[in-house]
């Protein structure tokens, strides 16, 4: 079972699992137009992306689709009871650090109530293992690198990070109380084709293509450990398969320990787009952190191999997709 399957990572994962012959029970709260209760405009870029991703996933052989809100207790519980999944990969959430500065209330239902419902349903239906999306943002503001899973995570810099940190604590309690085995996967800035329109790679690329200013916070000196989406999907798939290697209520970084400065990221992107960026500087936002850098030791100790797509190649795939999805001259995406 994959939740959040109209999303960026969830759609890619659902397709990957179906292509490998798995039966995938996929769900999302988006309707056929990609609209969600928080984004009811079918013409928004996010809605159009969700609709297009969902259409591809729903057509894949082996995928059973269900529209549901994970924050609605009986919808999830009933569906899980009818499906009886062996493993649940829970990716549905309200994502986005900056969005949580503007509207923290948007995060409560999906990320806190929804997560509690997933735990309850997994417990009630005796799901063997739960894998769920956590985030590098749980590490908060710090300069020591790389980030180890055992490091403290009790100083979230944003409400979004607080919900992810809460998810890890909630999962821990369900293991202590009921023995539910779970794995929180701390994703590090995932990018690639079909990426989220609120994330830096999409925003930067669209600004560069349209010769509009690219806003760089803190002089572009913020450092991010970017992870190509197919590397992320490969890690999630392998972690679901090698589940005997993680026990209890575990957490793991899914990142490559190769952070780069955002300004350098913009340079690689502009080279691929063959267009010079117009840079506009802005002060660092309070919810932002200066650095993300994953220690990948734990992940590598659990997996036999993990793909490491070079930034140039991953961004090349992203640019190729973006130019097809939104050819210049068409309406703005
Ligand atoms: N993309 C990243 O760089 C990144 C980094 C760290 C963590 N994460 C986490 O990974 C997961 C997937 O991220 P993404 O980038 O694919 O985000 P996304 O927004 O593209 O996908 C999330 C999906 O969840 C769905 N959803 C939200 N609330 C729901 C609800 N109440 N019921 C059912 N569906 C609901 C949304 O409609 C969306 O399709 C999220 O949990 C996110 O917090 C992502």
Question: What is the per-residue pLDDT across 189-200, written as a single tens digit (0 to 9) for each?
Answer: 999 999 999 999
Atom of ligand 1 nearest to the CA of 71: 31
Distance of alpha carbon 119 from alpha carbon 102, whole angstroms: 28
pLDDT tier at 304 (50, 70, 90 boundaries)?
confident
**CB of 133 closer than 6 A to ligand 1?**
yes
Query: How high is the pLDDT of residue 333?
Result: 56
Give me 99's structure tokens: 């969005």
Distance of alpha carbon 77 from alpha carbon 193, whole angstroms: 32
The answer to whether residue 314 scores a pLDDT higher than 80 is yes
Is 180:130 a contact under the CB 8 Å cutoff? yes
Ligand 1 centre distance from Cα of residue 44 (Å): 17
* Backbone angle region of 274, left / alpha / beta, with phi > 0 → left and psi within -120 to 50 → alpha: left
**CB of 227 closer than 6 A to ligand 1?**
no
* Backbone angle region of 108, left / alpha / beta, with phi > 0 → left and psi within -120 to 50 → alpha: alpha
**CB of 131 closer than 6 A to ligand 1?**
no
**CB of 187 closer than 6 A to ligand 1?**
yes
Q: Report phi then psi at 2, rounded to 5.
A: -125, 120
* Backbone angle region of 277, left / alpha / beta, with phi > 0 → left and psi within -120 to 50 → alpha: beta
Is 175:248 a contact under the CB 8 Å cutoff? yes
Distance of alpha carbon 181 from alpha carbon 128, whole angstroms: 7
Atom of ligand 1 nearest to the CA of 49: 20
Distance of alpha carbon 39 from alpha carbon 48, whole angstroms: 11
Q: Which helix (H) or strand (E) holds 251?
A: strand 249-254
Q: Report phi then psi at 27, rounded to 5.
A: -140, 160
- Residue the block writes with tokens 């690198």: 145
Which residue's CA is minimally distant from atom 11 of ligand 1? Answer: 91
Ligand 1 centre distance from Cα of residue 102 (Å): 18
Per-residue pLDDT reduced to its tens digit, 81-100: 999 999 999 999 999 998 99
Q: Report phi then psi at 242, rounded to 5.
A: -95, 45
Ligand 1 centre distance from Cα of residue 275 (Å): 31
Is 228:188 a contact under the CB 8 Å cutoff? no
Known catalytic residues are 160
pLDDT tier at 330 (50, 70, 90 boundaries)?
low
Say which residue, 329 or 109, is predicted with more confidence.
109
Ligand 1 centre distance from Cα of residue 308 (Å): 23
Q: Which domains does the chain have, with CATH numbers?
A: 2-189+228-255+295-308 (3.40.50.720)
Per-residue pLDDT reduced to its tens digit, 56-71: 999 999 999 999 999 9
Which neighbouring-strand residues pair with 66? 27
Q: Which helix (H) or strand (E) holds 144?
A: none
Ligand 1 centre distance from Cα of residue 220 (Å): 26
Give me 146's structure tokens: 């790389």
**CB of 254 closer than 6 A to ligand 1?**
no
Per-residue pLDDT reduced to its tens digit, 14-57: 999 999 999 999 999 999 999 999 999 999 999 999 999 999 99
- Residue the block writes with tokens 């993680």: 246
**Largest Cα–Cα distance in the chain?**
57
Among 2, 7, 44, which residue has the most ligand 1 atoms within 8 Å of its CB, making it the best to mutate? 7
């Amino acid at each position: 079972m994959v939740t959040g399957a109209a999303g960026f990572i969830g759609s890619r994962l659902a397709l990957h699992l179906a292509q490998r012959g798995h039966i995938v029970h996929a769900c999302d709260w988006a309707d056929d137009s990609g609209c969600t209760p928080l984004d009811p405009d079918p013409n928004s870029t996010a809605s159009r992306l969700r609709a297009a991703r969902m259409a591809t996933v729903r057509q894949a052989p082996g995928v059973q689709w269900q529209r549901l809100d994970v924050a609605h207790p009986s919808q999830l519980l009933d569906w899980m009871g009818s499906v009886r999944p062996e493993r649940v990969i829970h990716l549905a959430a309200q994502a986005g650090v900056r969005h949580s500065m503007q509207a923290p209330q948007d995060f409560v239902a999906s990320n806190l109530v929804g997560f509690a419902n997933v735990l309850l349903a997994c417990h009630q239906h005796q799901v063997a293992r739960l894998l769920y999306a956590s985030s590098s943002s749980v590490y908060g503001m710090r300069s020591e690198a790389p980030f180890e899973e055992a490091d403290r995570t009790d100083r979230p810099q944003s409400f979004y990070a607080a919900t992810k940190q809460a998810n890890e604590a909630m999962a821990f309690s369900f293991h202590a109380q009921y023995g539910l085995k779970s794995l929180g996967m701390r994703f590090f800035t995932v990018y690639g084709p079909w990426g989220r329109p609120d994330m830096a790679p999409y925003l930067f690329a669209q600004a560069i293509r349209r010769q509009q200013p690219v806003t760089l916070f803190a002089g572009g000196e913020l450092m991010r450990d970017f992870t190509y989406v197919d590397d992320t999907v490969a890690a999630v798939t392998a972690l679901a398969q090698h589940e005997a290697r993680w026990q209890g209520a575990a957490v793991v970084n899914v990142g490559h320990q190769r952070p780069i400065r955002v300004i350098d990221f913009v340079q690689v992107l502009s080279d691929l787009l063959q267009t010079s960026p117009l840079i506009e500087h802005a002060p660092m936002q309070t919810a932002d952190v200066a650095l993300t850098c994953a220690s990948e030791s734990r992940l590598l100790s659990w997996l036999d191999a993990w793909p490491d797509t070079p930034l140039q190649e991953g961004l090349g795939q992203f640019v190729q997709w973006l130019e097809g999805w939104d050819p210049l001259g068409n309406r703005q995406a």
